[in-house]
Amino acid sequence: MLAKIKQAGYIPFEASVRTFLWHIDGLLFGQVPVEDISKWYYLKETTPAYVAGRLATLRQIEDWVKKGYFREGIVAVDHNSLNVLFGRGETALYIAGASAARPLNQAGLEVGAFPFPKKSRDFQTTLVDASDSGWAIRADLPDSKLAAAVAFIDTFFTKESTAQWVEAGFITTMNFSTPEVKIFPQQMAALKATEGAQMGYFLDNAAPGLLNSMEILNAKILMGEITGDEYARRINAEYDKLKAEELARRK
């Protein structure tokens, strides 16, 4: 599909160095069980399934870069300008958070939505973002902190506040029925596309400092300075270093 898009004269993907993280995370969540990702995210264990999935993901990303599936000069693109760039009609696919739906609606762009991508129809859809503070429920928290997280969700996410959240252009993992909620078409498309999805994480949040390391490596692979295999080796080493520092800090 991407080759056909480019052949037709369009840029397959709209992205920036920062949002390139969502391409990587999306591919990873699309082929690695969330249980393995959770162990990595919570600094417990890097499983063989995670290692293999990360390498396959970065090799796929390298292939897309070599084939020119991203905007030329992407390293200089400000991620805050992506809605405007996508609105020019030069690009086919925009991998973004659900909050991009409102600006697209306001710009009059009629777009659909789909979860990015899965290895098969049967593979569980996992959202990159852990919305509704739901990440706290999955964490290995002491009983007191877990109770506080649950109390916050019960208090904050009422039917009324959830309606306001959705109307503001965000995706909620809560199931509710409120006929009065005004959901615009682009937002409805995102809601339907992610129906039944489970929560994932922004993987750069696994340890302090990981975001900076990933963005540097993103820029390098986008400029062709490193391969997918080199990216995997470097990020694994950086993760191990930052994990050790974080676990030592917690003692």
Query: Using an 8 Å Cβ cutoff, are 218 and 20 in contact?
Result: yes
Q: So what's the pLDDT on residue 250?
A: 83
Average pLDDT, the chain: 87
Q: Average pLDDT for residues 203-228, to the nearest whole number?
A: 94
Per-residue pLDDT, averaged over 105-110, amounts to 86
- Report residue 21's pLDDT band, with 50, 70 and 90 as the boundaries: very high
What are the structure tokens assigned to 52, written together? Answer: 């293999």
Question: What is residue 174's predicted lDDT score, i.e. its pLDDT?
Answer: 64
Q: What is the pLDDT of residue 136?
A: 60
**Over residues 29-50, mean pLDDT:** 94
Residue 60: per-residue pLDDT:
96
**CA dist 238 to 91, 134, 208, 220, 243, Å?**
33, 27, 11, 15, 8
Beta carbons within 10 angstroms of residue 168's beta carbon: 10
**What pLDDT does 50 receive?**
97
Q: Of 31-35, 86-90, 171-175, which gets the smallest average pLDDT?
A: 171-175
pLDDT at res. 222: 95
- The answer to whether residue 108 scores a pLDDT higher than 90 is no
pTM of the model: 0.85
- Domains in the chain, start-ordered, CATH in brackets? 2-250 (3.40.190.10)
pLDDT at position 163 is 81
H/E element holding 3?
A: helix 2-7
Q: How many C-beta atoms lie closer than 10 Å to residue 248's C-beta?
A: 8
Query: What is the distance between the alpha carbons of residues 127 and 49, in angstroms, rounded to a whole number?
Result: 19
Q: Has residue 48 got a pLDDT over 90?
A: yes
The torsion angle over the Cα atoms of residues 27, 29, 31 and 33, rounded to 10 degrees, is 170
Count of residues for the chain? 251
Average pLDDT on 91-103 reads 85
